[in-house]
Amino acid sequence: MITILSIMGNVFSTIQNKVEPQLMKTIIEEEIQRLTLEEKIGQMLMVSFNDNQIEEYISTHKIGGFIIFTHNIKDYPSIGSLTEKIYSTGLDTLGIAPFIGIDQEGGTVSRLEDLFYPIVGNMTLGAANSQGLAKEQGKIIGCILKEIGVNLNFAPVVDVNSDYRNPVIGLRSFGNNPEAVSTMGQAFVFGQREAGVISAIKHFPGHGNVDVDSHYGLPINPREWEEIEATDLVPFKELAANGIEMIMTAHIKAPNIDPNYPATLSKKTLTDLLRQELSYEGVIITDDIGSMKAITTQYPTEEAAIKAIEAGVDIVLIVADGNKVEKTIASLRKAVESGRLTEERINQSLRRILKLKLNYGLFKPRGQESLYKQEDLNNKIIAHNEKVYREAITTISNTLGAFPIEEDQKVLFITQGKNHYLNPLTKTSEGLDKLIGQYYNSFDIIDINSKNSSNIQKILKDYERIVIFSQRGYQHRLMSQLLKDFKDHPEVVLVSVAEPYEALTIGKFSSHLGVYGWQWEGLKALMEVLIGNTYPKGINPVSHNQ
């Protein structure tokens, strides 16, 4: 981490609305004295919402945080008006503006997909292996969020993706090398911080070594403590030491940390490990406890909220209807009145929350000056994507030299259900044939899912090269069989457009390239490599310890 800190510099102090420590302490203690119990509890909640709930949630329930989903976003002008309404209503009513959060990770998780061109995902950045590009990505996303009035991003994901079967992390991870995940994650955070946006890294103590999606069940990380410490915890330990503002919990159980409770509800995980052993002083927020089945199948939302705070959580995230929110508020109040939760325990969380809000200017009206047009931000994304993909295309193997492929060779391209992409220059969906036609004179494209795929074996002799696009093809019956049949074929090039786990699951291929995404910029960079105009520069981000 010394290297990245020396490259990035200490930008933390330059972008915050920094308050002198003694003055900050005085302000916070005065606020704690001023706020009622209901207002304190409200500061410890972040909720999903419909537009017509904003005033009630703030005026009646004193809510201190809101999370935006796609259903809240109508168009570019209205999202700014929405966040201004949330911010100003909170500031006018409570004297403290709310956190306004979103999941804008890039790649497969983007709530702003209808407003902005998609930016690359973390695994593509991991393959590019550039701290500068990771920081640039954080800065671009941060500028977008700042422009629309969002002050908190639940990103980056710093889970070390160790299990190829992981159904929920995968491309969202920078890879399976703990140190690389740490440095790339820290660079991303620096970028967002420079833009004035809070980063909440996730999911502590690591969601990468599981094979269950916590939206639908309770994942188990079976690792021994020594493995967890050497792998899953590394990014969190490094970023905690460098002042990360917020950490989101994972709804996973790690029996060798706590055999009884999932991390979100575990005092051993959040207080003993994160607070005491890792010396983390920032804000801890839960993942959603209102709808994710890892929690809801075990506890009612209101009981889970109490248990989470008992475990050491500062903010409880509830993605649910207003009824669950109201029940949770009532239960938290009763827990304080009965002595199950002390008001001093509530105040401990308030000190961390208010410190973060002070540092990011949430005690004063936000500026209204627009710095970027929507088109300018989209152009920044496209230019950034092109740079990343040029660095990310990876040679997994090329023992028989099936690429480069000359322009006059006859090529068969085999796809897996995706034959179109969005061209950012024309803003239209284009067929893959249009891009390939810019590079090759004679080619055909077959979709493995089409009725024509049964003839692939018969027609192979008609082609000098075969390029197979696999999107987790090892999980697809027809593609999996095709890959097994042709992994040693001297004229076949496998292209992974998701995580390149084909070598791990099916076997090493004679010629194998990694792209890590299905975007125009990535496919264009791939074609430049296939035809020999450039060479692959990326590293395989999931090759560590395989």
Q: Which residues are catalytic?
A: 287
Q: Tokens for 396, please give them.
A: 């997994």
> 461 CB contacts (<8 Å, ≥6 apart)?
none
Distances (CA, A) of 441 to 283, 408, 436, 532: 57, 6, 9, 15
Question: What single letter denotes the amino acid at residue 482?
Answer: L
Chain centre distance of CA 477: 29
Q: In which element (H, E) is residue 135 found?
A: helix 131-148
What totals of helices (H) and strands (E) does the chain contain, helices first?
22, 18
Please give the torsion angle defined by the CA atoms of residues 343, 345, 347 and 351, in that order, rounded to the nearest 10 degrees. Answer: 180
d(C-alpha 203, C-alpha 190), whole Å: 19
Half-sphere exposure of 393 (CA within 13 A, CB side): 24
* Residue 250 contacts residue 205 (beta carbons within 8 Å): yes
Q: In which element (H, E) is residue 43 found?
A: helix 37-43
Spell out the alpha helix ranges (H) of 360-476.
Answer: 374-392, 432-436, 456-459
> 359 CB contacts (<8 Å, ≥6 apart)?
16, 17, 18, 19, 245
* Residue 132 contacts residue 184 (beta carbons within 8 Å): no
d(C-alpha 382, C-alpha 116), whole Å: 10
Of 373, 293, 289, the closest CA to residue 331 belongs to 289
Half-sphere exposure of 352 (CA within 13 A, CB side): 22
Torsion sign (Cα): 298, 240, 189, 1: negative
Of 259, 160, 165, the closest CA to residue 206 belongs to 160
* Residue 235 contacts residue 178 (beta carbons within 8 Å): yes
Torsion sign (Cα): 99, 103, 104, 105: positive
